[in-house]
């Protein structure tokens, strides 16, 4: 399967702590994206990292990409209760198909 | 300023009774996608339209059909829903230009099959 594999499946942290989620995949990619999904809602795009980039920042988000290891990580710094959601990596291999991982469910305790 | 709108947000249907889910967009994007997402699982692509060109995923059951009458609207038809079709159905859009391109998702329609 080309699907992104995410770990951990679930993560529970205290407000103010950092949260790290990992994504591994099996095929060559054009880019990798991270999306967020609040319970019972649609997905919201967070950040896109191209295959020739190694690190990208957006506010409290930091994404790394290691194409040699076929892996990516999403770091959320100084987490807030409002960050509680599911986070999905999505790989773009070209064409119109974006393949989503099963997601990491993050719970931030106030 | 909603960009991708899905109606209804919740749909209840009976086993075998046809149902249609609706998606509209104000972004004028070329591509519209339909995903199925079951509880705690990844969204699974069912099909997409690039403009009027329909592209079905190989493993999408024949029970699922789609229509795109114009740029703004796309419909998902489930001809004979089974209990296994209960899921969240997500519509998404993007330009489909071939470069790095994010998808804009609607809020989803939660389908219950009784």
Task: Summarize pLDDT for A40-57 with one digit per residue, the tens.
Answer: 888 999 999 999 999 999
Instruction: State the pLDDT confidence band at A96, using cuts at 50, 70 and 90.
Output: confident
Residues 7-46 of A with CB under 8 A from B: 30-31, 33, 35, 40-45
- DSSP string covering B63-89: TEEEE-SSSSEEEEEESS--GGG-EEE
Task: Summarize pLDDT for B58-110 with one digit per residue, the tens.
Answer: 999 999 999 999 999 999 999 999 999 999 999 999 988 766 788 999 999 99
Give me the residue label for tokens 């009784």.
B114
Residue B59 corresponds to which tokens in the numbers above? 């493993």
Amino acid A1: pLDDT: 45
Q: How would you classify the pairing of strands A104-109 and A10-14?
A: parallel
Amino acid B2: pLDDT: 66
Amino acid B62: pLDDT: 95
Q: Using DSSP, how many helices (H) and how many strands (E) does chain B show?
A: 0, 11
A36 contacts A85 by C-beta, under 8 angstroms: yes
Query: What is the least distance, in Å, from the CA of B17 to any CA of chain A?
Result: 24
Amino acid A3: pLDDT: 63
Residue A16 corresponds to which tokens in the numbers above? 């103010």
Cβ contact (<8 Å) for B43 and A40?
A: no
Closest CA to B107 of B95, B94, B93, B89: B89
Q: Cis peptide before B105, with omega less than 30 degrees from 0?
A: no
What is the interface size between A and B, counted as CB pairs within 8 Å?
A: 58
């Amino acid at each position: 399967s080309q699907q992104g594999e995410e770990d951990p499946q679930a993560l529970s942290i205290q407000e103010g702590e950092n949260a790290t989620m990992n994504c591994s995949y099996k095929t060559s990619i054009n880019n990798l994206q991270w999306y967020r999904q609040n319970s019972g809602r649609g997905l919201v795009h967070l950040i896109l990292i191209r295959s020739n980039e190694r690190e990208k920042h957006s506010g409290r988000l930091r994404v790394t990409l290691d194409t040699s290891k076929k892996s990516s990580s999403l770091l959320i710094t100084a987490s807030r209760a409002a960050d509680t959601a599911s986070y999905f990596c999505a790989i773009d291999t070209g064409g119109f198909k974006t393949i989503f991982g099963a997601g990491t469910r993050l719970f931030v305790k106030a | 300023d909603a960009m991708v709108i899905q109606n209804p947000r919740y749909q209840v249907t009976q086993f075998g009774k046809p149902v249609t889910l609706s998606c509209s967009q104000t972004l004028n994007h070329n591509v519209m996608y339909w995903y199925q997402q079951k509880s705690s699982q990844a969204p699974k692509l069912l099909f997409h339209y690039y403009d009027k060109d329909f592209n079905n995923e190989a493993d999408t059951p024949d029970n699922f059909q789609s229509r795109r009458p114009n740029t703004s609207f796309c419909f998902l038809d489930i001809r004979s829903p089974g209990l296994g079709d209960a899921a969240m159905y997500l519509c998404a859009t993007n330009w489909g230009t071939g470069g790095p391109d994010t998808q804009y998702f609607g809020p989803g329609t939660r389908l219950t099959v009784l």
